[in-house]
Amino acid sequence: MAEFVTVSQMVQKLNLEVVSGSSEGLERAITIADISRPGLELTGYFNYYSHDRIQLFGSKEMTFAQRMMPEERLMVLRRMCTPDTPAFVISRGLSVPEEMLEACEEHDVPILRSPIGSSRLLGEMTSYLGGFLAPRTSVHGVLVDVYGLGVLIQGDSGIGKSETALELIKRGHRLIADDRVDVYQQDELTLVGEPPAILQHLIEIRGIGIIDVMNLFGASAVRGSMQVQLAVYLEAWAKDKKYDRLGTADTTIEIAEVDVPQIKIPVKTGRNVAIIIEVAAMNFRAKAMGYDATKTFEERLTQLIAQNSDE
């Protein structure tokens, strides 16, 4: 988890225009992902002012501010500029009132501007800050984008996780992270995984060493982050163990307080695990779209039993 994001980092990431602000002001820390849209504050009510959040001004806020007397507008905006206020952000490319410029320059609070609408800008800032500031958990495994599905491959050491991922990459899929995956909760149901900076685009193959996937296979073979939607656990084949053959054993694994569907694949000589994972991803997507082959089989079996009973 990053403790804070600087205003300058957000400016670069979201391509914001810096209307006002010194180099020191642009290094102000953003510690909260929530964005404030000042309403009551513009009327002079500051009892619950969220002074440590970015203040977003859209058409409504600007229209209201323009109806105020210049002296009143300057007084309110000065009160909004506190030592821990990260920045003022203006949407829709709106003009910045002189009083806002004066108040922000006095307290070195940056003023940023974007041409896009308030709702979309709010969503982009919240998504960026939420992802950057969210608590992170590291899990052991390999995260691969298989047909647009984030598949986390796990298993005992030496079972062949990285080799399987390499085969998937050769088949046109994309690597997100190998060996260690940093995951964070985007919301209550969404888990996102990304590589640690030191391992980005790298994969370890026993007997060869570290290889750079982007350098060998091109930019289309890697991806920066991906939602973790399916966990695949590779385990050594045991002759006496019973395995799910119908797909009725729905299991999940909890990662960072999010339940992720999990399937277990026994590994033994002769099994092409990469192809099996491809099929598992396609089958998972088919189930999400409403088609379940297991239910179809059970319905056919029930009909067959009924027909034999009638005879």
- Binding region for Mg(2+): 162, 204
Per DSSP, the three-state class of 199 is helix
Tell me the binding residues for ATP: 155-162
161 flagged as catalytic: yes
CA distance 161 to 143: 10
Out of 206, 239, 242, 245, the active site residue is 245
Q: Rounded distance, CA 208 to CA 170, Å?
A: 16
Q: Which residues are annotated as a binding site?
A: 155-162, 204
| Cα–Cα–Cα angle for 226, 178, 144, rounded to 5 degrees | 40
What are the C-alpha distances in Å from 17 to residues 11, 43, 65, 172, 272? 7, 28, 21, 38, 52
Catalytic annotation, pick one of 52, 179, 285, 292 = 179
Annotation says 259 is catalytic:
no
51 is catalytic: no
Catalytic option among 73, 113, 136, 161: 161
Check: CB of residue 42 under 8 Å from CB of residue 76: yes
179 annotated active-site: yes
- For residue 209, give the H/E element and its range: strand 209-212
Residues with catalytic function: 140, 161, 179, 245
